[in-house]
Amino acid sequence: MGFLLCHIAKAEFMTEEARRLDEWLSQDYHGDMSYMANHFDKRVDPRLLVPGAKSVISLAYNYYSNVRQIDPEAPQISMYAYGKDYHKVVKKKLQQMLEWMKTSFGNINGRVFVDSAPVLERDWARRSGLGWMGKNTMIIHPKKGSWFFLAEIITDLEMVYDQQLSDYCGTCTRCIDACPTEAIHEDGYLMDGSKCISYLTIELKKKLPLEYKDKMENWMFGCDICQQVCPWNRFAESHSEPAFLPKEKLISMSKEEWHDLSEPLFDELFEGSAVKRTKYEGLKRNIKFLS
């Protein structure tokens, strides 16, 4: 199906993760993302999402690209949003995979998830051995890096479960040192989402706080800094997914063209794109904030 990695964990209540999530929410690290506090019970117990669930299959889908925006002064878009909306692209493949499983293994029950339901994706990826959770809170694989989407199939099919990986971040603090808004805790492994540039440019619907005026590092949608500086991403290889290829116009636009962006051009550039989440007014807000 084109997935980069596939690992499996036992479906069960997540005791430690529930405690950490509760602490994270209590510190308001989710900012205005109120939905993060919804369905807490389902987030920490996959059996409430799929009755009788026995296995959580975690998959990774590569989105790394060697393509870059041509104008070095142009406002930047996170690499994951270069092409078509990954939710739709990856979910279609998951649905095909689940159908294959039903054909192969009989009358099984299951659901597919791509960042669109109360599922603790990174915790399940870590539990399954797909990677370890790095100091930047991303899932890192020792041979593939971290430039990939996470997806899950939760099923009542009992399977052989994989072993967790060790943490290989070691004494490295590159992601912590490089984060311009200090969103990553000084000891790592904890993200204040309300300070993250991705949150500020996508999730936050209000005016951008002036305290971040000179800390955005020219990002107008998302941010890749903590992945760009991660040494493990030297192993990343370009994806082979046509749907993730950026439009030539998007890559070639100059700084001036972005600042003059019209709504019709926005619709043309980002048809079927995850950038639509921030809407035209949101992207214009972000671009203006950078000037």
For residue 166, what are its two tokens? 């060790």
**Residue 28 annotated as catalytic:** no
| Cα within 13 Å of Cα(26), Cβ side | 6
Rg (CA), the chain: 19
Rounded-to-integer distance, Cα 218 and Cα 288, Å: 11
Rounded-to-integer distance, Cα 86 and Cα 255, Å: 26
Residue of 115, 156, 162, 167 with catalytic role: 115
Rounded-to-integer distance, Cα 38 and Cα 258, Å: 36
Residue 234 neighbours by CB under 8 Å, 6+ apart: 145
Tell the residue number behind the tokens 């904030």, with chain if given.
289
Rounded to a whole number, what is the distance in angstroms from the first to the last CA of the chain? 43
Rounded-to-integer distance, Cα 98 and Cα 96, Å: 5
Number of H helices, E strands in the chain: 11, 8
Q: Write phi, then psi, for 93 (nearest 5 degrees).
A: -70, -40
Give the torsion sign (CA, 5, 274, 96, 157): positive
Residues belonging to the active site: 115
